[in-house]
Amino acid sequence: MDLVADFSAICLKSRIVCMNKKSLLTLLQILVTLVLLWWVFHDPDKRAQMGEALREADWKWLWLGVVVFFVCTYVATVRWKILLSVQNIPMSWMRAWQLFMIGMFFNLFMLGSTGGDVVKMFLTMRETRNNKAAALLTVFMDRVIGMMALILISVAFLYFRYDVLSHTPASAALLRTLLWLLAASIVVIVGMFAISGFGWAHYLPSWTPMRGRIVELSAACHLYAKTWRLTLWAFLISFPLFALFFITFYCAARAFTDDLGLVDIFSVLPIVAVITAIPITISGIGLRESLFVSLLAPFGISAAVATLISVAGFLINTIGSLAGGLVFLLYRSSTHEAVNLRDMAREVERVESQMERDE
């Protein structure tokens, strides 16, 4: 019961921190989520079509999607394990997988964009005797390398399927949005590595916004650039990792229709992944469904079926993430030190506060 109470406390405290620190953004996210959900589900004819599709669904595809998701978590752990080795953080494969799953579980309950990552960082510090900076940098580089791979995947599929995806005004507008977001991401990543390579970060004036964070990230980029072979392996692993993630949504699609091929799903998912990464709604709920409706229309998929594909794909990933809760209940630190959830809550609060001061 104490563990349940502690878990409730950390989730509640995370929500209170987010409401206190970024209440306007949080309220806006909730409002946009509710509006989009109303837009997606308000049509009674569409709901009737969804009910019929659910009755005819082939549910074995959804369970196959859950299996693929767990394979995906293993590949993601391999990538993170490589990044840990660059920082000389010794950790077993099983331990790294446990921390990865726990981080995914907490991402479901924390409104802050860094919640699950902070928990994973906190537990990594405990495993490595408080090597906080190294733990933080591995989580950061995991995100950066993933974004670089996603950019290449997006460009490749846009090149081959641009004519289809730009067939309707809505999907064409989403393509333009994606291109702008990809261009901005490229500028940020290239700028980050340039600042690191030329050592410009240390010459930034003290009043520069987020100066401390820029210096830290510059150091991370420099270290991973020196060990470029391992970094390259982590980057290459990102491609099968994204393929497995996309296949979970392909399994969701096959549960409701035979009219979408694997390439069709692979063409749509990069756009969905990039746009839902923007904190417009809570966990992308509502926005994801709207994107699927617009992007699958050129393939002849009805709005009802497109919505179900989105919801089912999200459900597959949610079931897998909830399994991280079971992992957390069974988790025991290698140092045999008790995990104090209140300490984790304080760490989330501290990181959120630091980010706000940097901004």
- What pLDDT sits at residue 233? 92
Read off the amino acid at residue 168.
T
Instruction: Identify the residue whose tokens are 């830290």.
Output: 216
- What pLDDT sits at residue 176? 79
**Tokens standing for residue 77:** 């752990």
How many Cβ atoms sit within 10 Å of the Cβ of residue 26? 18
- What pLDDT sits at residue 113? 47
- What pLDDT sits at residue 152? 84
Q: How far apart are CA 344 and CA 119, in angstroms?
A: 6
Is the pTM here over 0.85, yes or no? no
How many Cβ atoms sit within 10 Å of the Cβ of residue 206? 6
Instruction: Identify the residue whose tokens are 């990044």.
Output: 83
Largest CA distance in the chain: 63
**Tokens standing for residue 127:** 């495993």
Q: How far apart are CA 101 and CA 332, in angstroms?
A: 14
Q: Are 289 and 297 in contact (CB under 8 A)?
A: no
- What pLDDT sits at residue 164? 77
Residuewise pLDDT in 10s, the chain (359 residues): 444 455 455 454 544 444 455 567 778 878 888 888 888 888 889 899 999 999 999 999 999 999 999 999 999 999 999 998 888 888 888 889 999 999 888 887 665 445 577 788 778 877 776 566 677 778 888 888 888 888 888 888 877 777 777 777 877 777 778 778 778 777 777 776 666 666 666 666 666 666 666 666 666 667 777 787 888 899 999 999 999 999 999 999 999 999 998 989 998 998 888 888 877 888 788 889 999 998 898 888 999 999 999 999 999 999 988 998 888 888 877 665 556 556 655 655 565 555 445 44
- What pLDDT sits at residue 314? 92
Q: Are 243 and 152 in contact (CB under 8 A)?
A: no
What residue segments make up the domains of the chain, in order of their start?
2-358
CA-CA-CA-CA dihedral for 145, 150, 152, 157, to nearest 10: 170
Q: How far apart are CA 227 and CA 225, in angstroms?
A: 5
Q: How far apart are CA 116 and CA 251, in angstroms?
A: 26
**How many CA atoms within 13 Å lie on the side-chain side of 277?**
16
Size of the chain, expressed as the number of residues it contains? 359
Q: Which runs of consecutive H residues, i.e. helices, occur in the chain?
A: 2-41, 44-55, 60-86, 93-107, 115-127, 132-165, 169-198, 211-226, 228-254, 262-276, 287-296, 303-330, 341-358
- What pLDDT sits at residue 346? 62
